[in-house]
Amino acid sequence: MASISFTVNARPHTVDVDPKMPLLWVIRDVIGLTGTKYGCGIAQCGACTVHLNGVPVRTCSLPVTAAANKAIVTIEGLSADNSHPVQQAWIENQVPQCGYCQSGQIMAATSLLKRNANPSDSDIDAAMQGHVCRCGTYPRIRKAIKLAAQKMKNPTSKS
Amino acid sequence: MITKTISRRNFIKLSGMTGTALTLGIGFSALGKDSPVLTAALAEAQNIELNAWISIDTAGTVTIINHRAEMGQGSFQAVPQIIAEELEVDLNQVKIVFAQGSQTKYGSQITGGSSTVRGSYKRLLRLAASAREMLLEAASRKWNVARTKLVAENGRVIQITTGEAISYGDLVAEAAKLQPPKEVKLKSPRDYKVLRKPMPRQDIPMKTNGQAVFGIDKKIPGMLYAVVERNPRFLGKLKSFDDSAARAMPGVKHILPVKMRVFSHDREGVAVVADSLWAALQARKALKVEWDDTAFPHHNSEQLYAQMREDVKNKPALSFRTKGDFKRAFETSAKKLEAIYETPYEAHACMEPLNCIAHFQNNKLEIWGPIQGPDWVQADVADLMGLKPEDVTVNMTFLGGGFGRKAFLDYPHEAAVISKAIQAPVQVFWTREDDMTQGPFRPGMVYQCRGGLSDQGRLQAFETRMAGQNMDHQNPGADKMAYNSNVTEGFLETYLNSMPHYSFSDIPLESPIPVMWWRSVYSSTNGFAFESFLDELAHAAGTDPLAFRRNYFWDARYHELANRLEEVSGWKNRKPNEGWGVAITECFSSIVGEVVKVSRKPDGKIKIDKVWAVMDCGWYVNPDTIRAQVEGSIIMALAAATKHEVTFKEGKAVERNFDSYKMLRITDSPDIEVHVVDNEEKAGGVGEPGLPPFTPALTNAIFDLTGKRIRKLPFALEEV
Question: Do A142 and B666 make contact, defined as CB atoms within 8 angstroms?
Answer: yes
Chains A, B: CB contacts within 8 A come to 174
Cβ of B635 and A138 within 8 Å?
yes
For residues A114 and A135, membership in a common domain is answered with yes
> pLDDT digit string (tens) for B352-371?
999 999 999 999 999 999 99
Chain A interface includes B202 (CB < 8 A): no
- Whether A158 is covered by a domain: the verdict is no
Count the domains in chain B.
3
Mean pLDDT of all residues in B96-104: 60
* Residues of chain A contacting residue B665, judged by C-beta atoms under 8 Å apart: 128-132, 138
C-alpha B696/C-alpha B244 separation (Å) is 54
pLDDT for residue B174 is more than 50: yes
- Answer whether residue B16 shows pLDDT above 60: no
Q: Does B290 touch chain A (CB under 8 A)?
A: no
> What's the rounded mean pLDDT across residues B657-686?
96
Instruction: Determine whether the interchain pair A82/B401 forms a contact, defined as Cβ–Cβ distance below 8 Å.
Output: no
Same domain, B320 and B259: no
Q: Is the Cα torsion angle B430, B431, B434, B439 positive or negative in sign?
A: positive
More confident residue, B61 or B491: B491
Q: Which of the listed residues A46, A78, A110 is the one where a domain comes to its end?
A: A78
For residue B678, the one-letter residue type is D
Strand partners, B290: B240
Residues 6 or more apart in contact with residue B88 via CB below 8 angstroms: B132, B152, B153, B154, B155
Chain A interface, mutation test: which of B220, B282, B399, B666, most A Cβ atoms within 10 Å? B666
DSSP A70-107: -EEE-HHHH-TTS-SHHHHHHHHTT--SS-TTHHHHHH
Question: Is the Cβ–Cβ distance between B678 and B553 less than 8 Å?
Answer: no
Of the residues B437, B462, B487, the one at which a domain ends: B437
Q: Is A21 in CB contact (< 8 Å) with chain B?
A: yes
Nearest to A45 among B71, B629, B658 (CB): B658
Q: Does residue B58 surpass a pLDDT of 70?
A: yes
Does the pLDDT of residue B48 top 90, yes or no? Answer: no
**C-beta atoms of A102 and B217 within 8 A:** no
CB-based contact (8 Å) between B658 and chain A?
A: yes
In this structure, the answer to whether residues B282 and B156 fall within a common structural domain is no
The H or E element spanning position B592 is: strand B590-600
For residue B362, CA distances in Å to B95, B211, B259, B415 come to 33, 33, 21, 16
Does B201 map to a domain? no
* Chain A residue whose CA is closest to B432: A40
Cis peptide before B80 (omega within 30 of 0): no
Collapsed DSSP state (helix, strand, coil) of residue B82 = helix
The percentage of residues in chain B with a pLDDT greater than 90, rounded to a whole number, is: 80
Q: A113-152, pLDDT tens digit by residue?
A: 999 999 999 999 999 999 999 999 999 999 999 999 999 9
Measured distance CA(B71)–CA(B214) in Å, rounded: 10
H/E stretch holding A145 reads: helix A138-153
Query: Is residue B364 included in any domain, yes or no?
Result: yes
Residue A134 lies in a domain: yes
* Residue where a domain terminates, one of A57, A78, A99: A78
Pairwise CB contact (< 8 Å): A91 & B632: no
Same domain, A26 and A55: yes
**Of the partner residues A100, A140, A141, the one whose CB lies closest to the CB of residue B400:** A100
CATH number, position A125? 1.10.150.120
A65 and A115 inside one domain: no
Chain A partners within 8 Å of B214 (Cβ)? 37, 100
Contact B631 A137 (CB under 8 A): yes
Distance CA A27, CA A50 (A): 10
Cross-chain Cβ contact A98/B74 below 8 Å: no
Domain holding A74: CATH number?
A: 3.10.20.30
The predicted structure's pLDDT at residue B618: 96
Task: Give the whole-angstrom CA distance, residue B320 versus residue B465.
Answer: 10
Check: CB of residue B389 under 8 Å from CB of residue B381. no
* pLDDT for the residue B8: 38
Interface contact A78, partner B, CB < 8 A: yes
Residue in B203, B402, B636 nearest the CB of A136:
B636
CB B409 within 8 A of CB B385: no
pLDDT bin (cut points 50, 70, 90) of residue B64 is: confident
Residues B658 and B709 in one domain: yes
CB contacts, 8 Å: A36 with chain B: 210
Q: A61 in contact with B at a CB cutoff of 8 Å? A: no
Say which of B72, B277, B633 has its CB closest to residue A29: B277
The answer to whether residues B549 and B498 touch, using CB atoms and an 8 Å cutoff, is: no
User: Would an 8 Å CB–CB cutoff place A51 in contact with chain B?
Assistant: no
What is the distance in angstroms between the Cα of B421 and the nearest Cα belonging to chain A?
24
At residue B718, does pLDDT exceed 80? yes
User: Chain B closest CA to A118's CA: distance in Å?
Assistant: 18
- Same domain, yes or no: A49 and A100: no
Among partner residues A41, A47, A96, which is closest to B204 by beta-carbon distance?
Answer: A96
A69 and A94 share one domain: no
DSSP A3-68: EEEEEETTEEEEEEE-TTSBHHHIIIIII---SS--S-SSSSS-TTEEEETTEEEEGGGSBGGGGT
Within a 10 A sphere around the Cβ of A96, how many other Cβ atoms? 29
Contact across the interface for A96 and B208, Cβ inside 8 Å: yes
**B412 and B472: one domain?**
no
Is the same domain home to B611 and B463?
yes
Our count of domains for chain A comes to 2
| Statement: residue B663 has pLDDT above 80 | yes
| β-bridge mates for residue B265, sequence order | B262
- Whether residue B193 lies inside any domain: the answer is no
B632 vs A45, A82, A97: nearest CB: A97
Task: Report if residue B195 sits inside a domain.
Answer: no
If asked whether residues B273 and B313 sit together in one domain, one would say no
Q: Among B166, B188, B210, where does a domain finish? A: B188
Residue A48 belongs to some domain of the structure: yes
Yes or no: say if A19 and A68 are a contact pair by the CB < 8 Å rule: no
For B33, residues 6+ apart whose C-beta sits below 8 A from its C-beta are: none
Residues B408 and B430 in one domain: yes
Distance from CA of A121 to the nearest CA of B (A): 9
Structural domain of B237 = 223-295+349-437
In a domain, B194, yes or no: no
- Residue B69: pLDDT band (50, 70, 90) is low
Q: How far apart are CA B74 and CA A99, in angstroms?
A: 11
Any domain includes B218? no
Residue A155 confidence (pLDDT): 85
What does the DSSP assignment read for B147-199? GGGEEEETTEEEETTT--EEEGGGTHHHHTTSPPPS--PPPPGGG-SSTTS-P
- Closest by Cβ to A41, choosing from B74, B211, B432: B432
CA angle, residues B208, B210, B213, in degrees to nearest 5: 115
Query: Which chain B residues touch A49 with a CB distance below 8 Å?
Result: none
Assembly ipTM: 0.98
Confirm or reject contact between B492 and chain A (CB < 8 A): no
Whether residue B209 is contained in a domain is answered as no
| B10 pLDDT higher than 60 | no
Enumerate residues 6+ apart whose C-beta is below 8 A from A154.
Answer: none
Residue B6 has pLDDT above 90, yes or no: no
Residue B208 in contact with partner chain A when CB distance is under 8 A? yes
Q: What is the pLDDT of residue B121?
A: 85
Nearest chain A residue (CA) to B214: A100
User: Which CATH number is B587's domain given?
Assistant: 3.30.365.10
Q: Span B379-387, mean pLDDT?
A: 96
**pLDDT number for residue B116:** 60
- Are B95 and B56 within 8 A, CB to CB? no
pLDDT at B319: 83
Q: Could you read off the pLDDT of B510-521 as tens digits, one per residue?
A: 999 999 999 999
**In sequence order, which ranges of B315-373 are alpha helices (DSSP H)?**
326-331
What lies within 8 Å, CB to CB, of B433 at 6+ separation is B656, B657
- B660 interfaces chain A, CB cutoff of 8 Å: no
Q: Where are the alpha helices (DSSP H) in B332-423?
A: 374-385, 410-422
Quick one: A68 and A100 in the same domain? no
Which residues in chain A come in under a pLDDT of 50?
none
Domain shared by B30 and B129, yes or no: yes
Q: In sequence order, what are the residues at sequence separation of 6 or more whose Cβ sits closer than 8 angstroms to the Cβ of residue B270?
A: B228, B229, B238, B241, B243, B255, B256, B257, B258, B287, B289
Kindly report the backbone phi and psi dihedral angles of residue B103, in degrees, each rounded to the nearest multiple of 5, phi listed first: -65, -40
Contact A134 B74 (CB under 8 A): no
Which of A78, A111, A144 is the last residue before a domain boundary? Answer: A78
Q: Residue B452 and residue B458: Cα distance in Å, rounded?
A: 8
Residues 6+ apart with CB under 8 A from B34: none
pLDDT at B5: 32
Length, in residues, of chain A: 159
B237 and B326 within one domain: no
What mean pLDDT is reported for chain B? 91
pTM beyond 0.90: the answer is: yes
A69 min Cα distance to partner chain B (Å): 22
Q: Environment class of residue B388 by beta-carbon count within 10 Å: exposed (0-12), middle (13-18) or buried (19+)?
A: exposed
| CB-CB under 8 Å, A103 with B278 | no
Domain hosting A118: range is: 85-153
Torsion angle (degrees, nearest 10) of CA B172, B173, B176, B178? -110
Q: For residue range B126-157, list pLDDT tens digits in order.
A: 989 999 999 999 999 999 999 999 999 999 99
Edge-to-edge strands of the sheet including B364-369? B252-262, B265-274, B224-230, B426-429, B355-361, B364-369, B392-396
Centroid of chain to Cα A29:
17
Mutate which of A74, A90, A93, A97 to disrupt the B interface (most B C-beta within 10 Å)?
Answer: A97
Residue B513 in domain: yes
Mean pLDDT of B400-425: 96
* Backbone torsion region of residue A91, taken as left when φ is above 0, otherwise alpha when ψ lies between -120 and 50, otherwise beta: alpha
Contact B401 A100 (CB under 8 A): yes
**Where among B404, B437, B470 does a domain terminate?**
B437
**In this complex, do B74 and A97 lie within 8 Å of one another by their Cβ atoms?**
yes
Q: Does B388 touch chain A (CB under 8 A)?
A: no
Residue B285 and residue B409 in one domain: yes
Q: How far apart are CA B258 and CA B414, in angstroms?
A: 7
For residues A68 and A14, membership in a common domain is answered with yes
Contacting residues of B for A48, CB less than 8 Å apart: none
Q: Are residues B460 and B501 in the same domain?
A: yes
pLDDT confidence tier of residue B43, bands split at 50, 70 and 90 = confident
Find residues 93-132 of chain A whose CB sits inside 8 Å of chain B.
94-103, 106, 124-125, 128-132
Q: Are residues B173 and B159 in the same domain?
A: yes
What phi and psi, each to the nearest 5 degrees, are found at residue B350? -60, 145
Tell me if residue B34 falls in helix, strand or coil.
coil
Residue A62 lies in a domain: yes
Rounded Cα gap, residues B406 and B432, in angstroms = 15
Q: Tell me, what's the pLDDT at B103?
A: 45
